A and B are shown apart, each in its own frame.
Chain A
Amino acid sequence: MTFKKAVLATPSVQQAYRPGLQALSPGDAKRIQAENPRRLTGSLNLDAALQAAQPDAPRWDYGIGYRRSDREEAFWVEVHPASSDNVSEVLEKLAWLRKWLKNEASSLQELTRGGFYWVATGGSVAITRHSRQARQLAKAGLRGPWRVLSLPARDSRARARSRLPGRA
């Protein structure tokens, strides 16, 4: 299953598939980096797609398809101000997304191996890594908040670590 097929198989958002990162606003797209952009297989603006159907729901922002190794994966990205005050709001959105994937988007659920990410609006992060709030996010399975989400290539770990100064 590809990301595109999974979106098209989900009735409530089937019109919302866009190639590459076109579903993202230009400002938000700048916060997503791909080591190999050709691996970006599409995107979905979940917030906009479900605005009419679920106007009061804490809707999640985006889904992004990315081909890693030999398979496609869905990465779920919320672009949101990143301070401790926003943690509960984002966790609420995550809970909504998990429920939506389970109940209404089983095809996308199957692709959800890429995980859930919080990217900071404007790039400003005001949550420390050792804070209680950071641990709340981890416990909920949410990674971030980060200034930029960098989607990796196949052997990303080794390549990312080799970039860190001061390490062999």
Chain B
Amino acid sequence: MNLLHRLKLIRVGQITCADVQFGDLTVLVGPQATGKSIFLQFLKLAQDTGYVHEQLRRHGIEWERRVPEFLDVYLGEGMRGVWREGTDGSAVSVNGHAADVAEWVAPRHRFRKATVFYIPAQRVLSLANGWPRPFQGFASEDPFAVRDFSETFRLLMEQEFSPTAALFPKTNRLKKEYRELLAHHVFGGFGLHVDRHGAQKRLVLRREKDPQSIPFMVWSAGQREFVPLLMGLYWLMPAAKVKRRENLQWVIIEELEMGLHPNAISVVLLLVLELLWRGYRVCLSTHSPHVLDVVWAIRVIQQQRADPTRLLDVFKVRKTGPMKDVAQATIGKKVQVYYFDRTGEARDISNLDPGSENHLEAGWGGLSEFSGRVNEIVADIVNGSPGLATEPKVEPATGRSAGQGDASKEPELPGLMP
């Protein structure tokens, strides 16, 4: 299979035109309902057509051989409308070549292993009563990505983990540095265990030497969001001394920040760097400026040819040998950032220059725009000039330069710049 490096969606759902060239790390930002999730699910479909078919068949799901009907199954019931047919209809191109999406829908003999591991935004739905739901435990309106993630989570629990050992902390999956940070910022001293409640297995939190178990429904919102993500990361980091799992090449994580305090988000971002070090290509969608903070730091270190381990300072993590390797590998990676806007376009804002004349880039696709406005208004208030916030406007630098005025209207003042 050729490596997918570019995916373009035209007139698909809210998307008018999203032409994304992937880096090793690709980050999608933008307001709600601008097509980021649809785009990522098409990436999964483009890469894993055979796997998707195989899983649907295995779980007794059939579909009509038309794209809208297939998307009703794949994206979830009611989503057929994202695909428009006709001359001005929806289109997809892969690596610059038009893709025949109708052919994706047809059963064919294809590669049936997953190459993309998708951790969806709705990952918390995978845990019902503290145990992962099987694929068929979901309704038809649930997207394939959610059902498949949950099924993988279930397989991991039932096939790879001992029912008696702690799931966190767990020595053979995550590096010690990550375990320490997660213990501090996410689990707050609790361990994650499998417990039996009657005949029913369930995940619980428990302190060491304390028999009292904390069931799923009374975990903090952040813990409920994080545990499925952690299990996804365990899946991607096999216990054996191999960096990647089987055929997996890509990891998609939607809204990794969900429910998490900024300190915990930082740890998850560090784990994203671990995925990069392991050779995965990672796609993130996010509403968190923290994610772009890290991307910005990576780009500046790259541009300045600075010591890669400065990246570890961002996370306040010890500069051990393994962590230095992770930082070194990350700085060698290509990072791309796209902004999905309300008009349906995806714009490349990878430079993330806070001083950019492109307000989308300077405002990081809206993630820091609000803070910028607050800063300006606060500055005006401090100066006792309540009206000023409405007056001077900086950037975009499209105004005429000094000395470039229209001489026909007013006499030229002496001393203006030529």
Is A141 within 8 A of B357, CB to CB? no
By a CB distance below 8 angstroms, the chain B residues around A68 are 391
B397 touching A165 by the CB < 8 A rule?
A: no
Closest Cβ of chain A to B42, distance in Å, is: 23
Distance, CA A116 to CA B384, complexed state (A): 12
Q: Whole-angstrom distance between the alpha carbons of A29 and B404 in the complex?
A: 13
Q: Is B341 an interface residue (CB 8 A)?
A: yes
Q: A19-B414, A150-B393, A152-B391 are in contact. Are A120 and B355 (CB under 8 A)?
A: yes
Given A34-B399, A37-B405, A123-B355, is A157 in contact with B382 using a C-beta cutoff of 8 Å? no
Asked if B393 contacts A138 (CB within 8 A), the reply is no
Interface size class of A (residues with CB under 8 A): 35 or more
Q: Is the interface of A mostly helix, strand, loop or mixed?
A: mixed
Does the CB pair B385–A38 fall under 8 Å? no
Q: What 1/0 flags go to A127-154 for Cβ under 8 Å of B? A: 1111000110111111111111111100
Which residues of chain A from 1 to 52 have a CB within 8 Å of any chain B CB? Answer: 18-22, 26, 29-30, 32-38, 40-42
Among candidates A30, A142, A151, residue contacting B392 with C-beta atoms closer than 8 Å: A151
B:376-415 near A, CB below 8 Å: 376, 378-380, 382-383, 385, 388, 390-405, 409-415
- A164 within 8 Å of B by Cβ? yes
21 pairs of residues in contact across A and B, judged by CB atoms under 8 Å:
A26-B417, A33-B397, A34-B402, A37-B402, A37-B413, A38-B405, A113-B388, A115-B385, A126-B354, A128-B354, A129-B368, A129-B371, A129-B375, A134-B371, A135-B378, A147-B395, A147-B397, A148-B394, A150-B393, A152-B399, A164-B396
Which residues of B are in contact with A by a Cβ distance under 8 Å? 289, 293, 296, 300, 341-343, 353-357, 359-360, 362-364, 367-369, 371-372, 374-376, 378-380, 382-383, 385, 388, 390-405, 409-417
Which residues does A use to contact B, with CB under 8 Å? 18-22, 26, 29-30, 32-38, 40-42, 68, 75, 82, 113-117, 120, 123-130, 134-135, 137-152, 156-157, 160, 163-166
